[in-house]
């Protein structure tokens, strides 16, 4: 599950990286959480553009928005099936996942080792979007059993082409096979001892 991600590059870098005519009208915080507005990239046949929907599709049966959609069941779920033609790119510089360590959870920042902007595969419904997830790449499987789909190479352009039937782009929704993924884990904070107790 991807419940937080990072967009650590500014608007100018996003315009260059994703061949946009202009950046979105406002810019979000560096670390993005569910319900935050975040830039996603669309191509409705008139060229690429960036918009700022909220992260998470509303769900009538749940108080929490649907921030992720499983790649394996997209075409089976009635919530996502109508959106299979409403595909988008979700720009990011990293995402965060928590590794269970006994009773503790350790926060990991995960990104392609070569750095820079990349894109998750997403679906958009008007003012909301969701990020598609898949099984993890082998190098990070010890952290969590899911990861967001990171599109590589010409996969970004193929995913955005609205005229392409979903069945032809579904094979893109696989664990990342580009450069190695790097995971940087936060070090646990050391508890300070009693200043007045025995040394």
Tokens encoding 137: 């790449």
Query: How far is residue 168's CA from residue 180's CA, in Å, rounded to a whole number?
Result: 26
Query: How far is residue 79's CA from residue 137's CA, in Å, rounded to a whole number?
Result: 27
- With tokens 């769900």, the residue in question is 59
Catalytic residue among 76, 88, 97, 186: 97
Query: How far is residue 175's CA from residue 192's CA, in Å, rounded to a whole number?
Result: 41
Is residue 2 part of the annotated active site? The answer reads yes
Tokens encoding 113: 């080792």
Catalytic residue among 2, 88, 134, 156: 2
Determine whether 23 is exposed, middle or buried from the number of CB atoms within 10 Å of its CB (0-12, 13-18, 19+): middle
Query: How far is residue 140's CA from residue 174's CA, in Å, rounded to a whole number?
Result: 14
Residues annotated as catalytic (active site), given as ranges? 2, 97
């Amino acid at each position: 599950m991807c419940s937080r991600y990072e967009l650590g590059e500014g608007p100018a870098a996003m315009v260059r990286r994703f061949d946009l005519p202009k950046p979105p009208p406002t810019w979000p915080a560096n670390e993005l959480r569910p319900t935050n507005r975040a830039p996603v990239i669309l191509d409705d046949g008139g060229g690429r553009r960036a918009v700022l929907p909220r992260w998470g599709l509303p769900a009538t049966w749940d108080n929490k928005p649907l921030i992720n959609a499983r790649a394996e069941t997209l075409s089976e779920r009635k919530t996502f099936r109508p959106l299979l033609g409403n595909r988008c790119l979700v720009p990011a510089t990293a995402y965060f996942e928590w590794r269970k360590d006994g009773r503790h959870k350790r926060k990991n920042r995960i990104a392609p080792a070569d750095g820079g902007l990349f894109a998750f595969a997403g679906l958009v419904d008007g003012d909301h979007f969701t990020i598609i997830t898949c099984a993890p790449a082998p190098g990070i499987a010890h952290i969590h059993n899911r990861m967001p789909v990171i599109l590589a190479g010409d996969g970004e352009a193929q995913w955005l082409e609205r005229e392409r039937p979903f069945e032809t782009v579904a094979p893109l929704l696989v664990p990342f096979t580009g450069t190695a993924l790097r995971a940087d884990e936060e070090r646990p904070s050391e508890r300070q001892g009693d200043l007045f107790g025995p040394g």
